[in-house]
Structure 1
């Protein structure tokens, strides 16, 4: 795949527009392909709406300081929208195709299958589904070894993380090609197995439901819970990953906390998974033992801690919460 690969998006909706902005910003030519047969007037409206949203997004990024006003027009010029009747030309020229149609299995299979018959044999095809497993789609596609799921988090043009989920037939070299492409536009790809919810949606569904449950139970107001998330939960996990945080404090702490919460709240949703107790019994509780979910052997622990704490201090400054000490000099 070339360093400035031609990109095609199946669908000109929100996901296609977000992906178009991300790639155009990084120097790629992007074609959004309408998947429906429309009248000329209806297509003209769709095209106008899509390009207008792209234009507004670049204007917003300009206001946020990520580009100058003069940069916007050349970036917008890299994005085009074509009707379904012209999909063959756009697909034949694309080096990678991102599918972004509604979350309906049969619709995705139909659109992906048709596209796979129009692309070059070397083209990579990626679904962007947030719910459907890649192997539920790959059977409809020619050359499934060049197919995988690439799940973007909204807004796609801003959020760095992209979850890459290969299917059983996906060629490992394709995974590396897609990772390199994403890294080349400033994204942070992670590879995960084809399981429901991938990584982030699976974790955030638990967290969001628990937050809603606490409002329902009267634990705290929505405003107070969100404040706790922004300045506590989110603050720490912007620096330390969840598993890294377990190791930071110690897996034994999670084990006992989970056991207490399960009993106190009468719910097995707080029960620790077997890996937590297994790690304890094997002496893998984190930094204190040199290993946990991550391996800390040979690590300068003091330097590692100092780096993470510095990152937290930087966040304090970002939130304008870093204060000088109060010293009584009288």
Structure 2
């Protein structure tokens, strides 16, 4: 029998419930710890609501074809809602604790401090904050070398990405261990520096504001704009990363397009960063020079292009847009 890590969630709200589903699905026992003092009746009400949401989520995933519905009860039984009185036992037995209390700095710091003291020095503790930097929290945690941020994207039980942000005190071995655990359960963790917005929220904030601005300017209707995003922007970036796409088309294209848009729209928000200018000066513009943001020096470019084009065809199939060729004469 495989020994799986025990997981605890600090907070029994929406984020904790989503993470509980992820780990229970992967075979882990999860303690969903309600960290608020409540009467027994109030706790039973909350516990019932939490488990009902876990069960509804699993039922939805089963209906979507991820697993046979007969397994839902087995998976849900791995999740246990624990009252505040049982927090010490739950935290001290856990290998990894995910904090998911509301996005209020003082509230998080106090909850993390209490949690860490109850847990002892061994469990990895990860905040799931979407806004607060790791080192604004880490000094509240005894033994901060075992603390980092793990930003999940909602819905946590479906979106593969988890952004790991270690702090200045985080032991690199702790980051590696949590990354390996997430990969083992089917997630795709990435490690990023402690900067506001992490990776995806920072990029998507720019994109979402620009889309809203284009509607405001009358460039297109919301319906037409979203169609362009789904079948153009989203289609390409589901296969190619943003930086890989720069290399695919050529960094010189972005360089000149940035200059044109900055002047035509009279806005510095389109100005290229220094790294684009630097790549142009050094001739690192992508596939044509075999070096851009990524290194293609020892890559079979024909095979690489064929593999990416195959993925694009797969996207067409997913979108039900594959059409047979017209062979009859006009």
Same topology, TM > 0.5: yes
Is the CA contact (8 Å cut-off) linking 1:31 and 1:80 kept in structure 2?
yes
- SS of corresponding position for 1:162: strand
Structure-2 residue corresponding to 1:324: 324
Structure-2 residue corresponding to 1:180: 180
Is the CA contact (8 Å cut-off) linking 2:121 and 2:142 kept in structure 1?
no
Structure-2 residue corresponding to 1:205: 205
Q: How does 1:7-26 map to 2 (within 5 A)?
A: 7-26=7-26
After superposition, what is the alpha-carbon deviation per residue over 1:3-34, rounded to whole angstroms, capped at 9, x for unaligned?
Answer: 51000000111100000000000000001111
- SS of corresponding position for 2:119: coil
Rounded Cα–Cα distance in structure 1 between residues aligned with 2:325 and 2:292: 36
Equivalenced residue count is 329
Is the CA contact (8 Å cut-off) linking 1:248 and 1:287 kept in structure 2?
yes
Structure-2 residue corresponding to 1:253: 253
Tell whether 2:294 aligns with 1:263: no
Tell whether 2:79 aligns with 1:79: yes
Structure-1 residue corresponding to 2:142: 142
Q: How does 1:104-183 map to 2 (within 5 A)?
A: 104-183=104-183
Deviation at residue 85 of structure 1 after TM alignment: 1.5
Further displaced range: 120-129 or 204-213: 120-129
Is the CA contact (8 Å cut-off) linking 1:10 and 1:16 kept in structure 2?
yes
Deviation at residue 122 of structure 1 after TM alignment: 1.7
Rounded Cα–Cα distance in structure 1 between residues aligned with 2:241 and 2:222: 25
Deviation at residue 168 of structure 1 after TM alignment: 0.2
- Gaps of at least 5 residues in structure 2 are none
Is the CA contact (8 Å cut-off) linking 1:279 and 1:285 kept in structure 2?
yes
- Gaps of at least 5 residues in structure 1 are none
Is the CA contact (8 Å cut-off) linking 1:13 and 1:50 kept in structure 2?
yes
Rounded Cα–Cα distance in structure 1 between residues aligned with 2:271 and 2:138: 36
Tell whether 2:70 aligns with 1:70: yes
TM-score, with structure 1 as normaliser = 0.98
Q: How does 1:209-288 map to 2 (within 5 A)?
A: 209-288=209-288
In the TM superposition, structure 1's runs of 4+ consecutive aligned residues that sit over 2 Å from their partners are none
Rounded Cα–Cα distance in structure 2 between residues aligned with 1:196 and 1:282: 30
TM-score, with structure 2 as normaliser = 0.98
After superposition, what is the alpha-carbon deviation per residue over 1:139-182, rounded to whole angstroms, capped at 9, x for unaligned?
Answer: 11100000000000000001001000000000000011001100
Rounded Cα–Cα distance in structure 2 between residues aligned with 1:141 and 1:201: 26
- SS of corresponding position for 1:126: strand
- SS of corresponding position for 2:186: coil
Structure-1 residue corresponding to 2:4: 4
Rounded Cα–Cα distance in structure 2 between residues aligned with 1:89 and 1:148: 22
Structure-2 residue corresponding to 1:40: 40
Further displaced range: 184-193 or 112-121: 112-121
- SS of corresponding position for 1:31: strand
Rounded Cα–Cα distance in structure 2 between residues aligned with 1:173 and 1:289: 37
Rounded Cα–Cα distance in structure 2 between residues aligned with 1:229 and 1:41: 48
Measured on the aligned residues, the alpha-carbon RMSD in Å equals: 0.9
Rounded Cα–Cα distance in structure 1 between residues aligned with 2:206 and 2:152: 19
After superposition, what is the alpha-carbon deviation per residue over 1:197-237, rounded to whole angstroms, capped at 9, x for unaligned?
Answer: 00000000000000111111111111111111110000000
Deviation at residue 258 of structure 1 after TM alignment: 0.6
Structure-2 residue corresponding to 1:190: 190
Deviation at residue 329 of structure 1 after TM alignment: 4.4
Is the CA contact (8 Å cut-off) linking 1:133 and 1:195 kept in structure 2?
yes
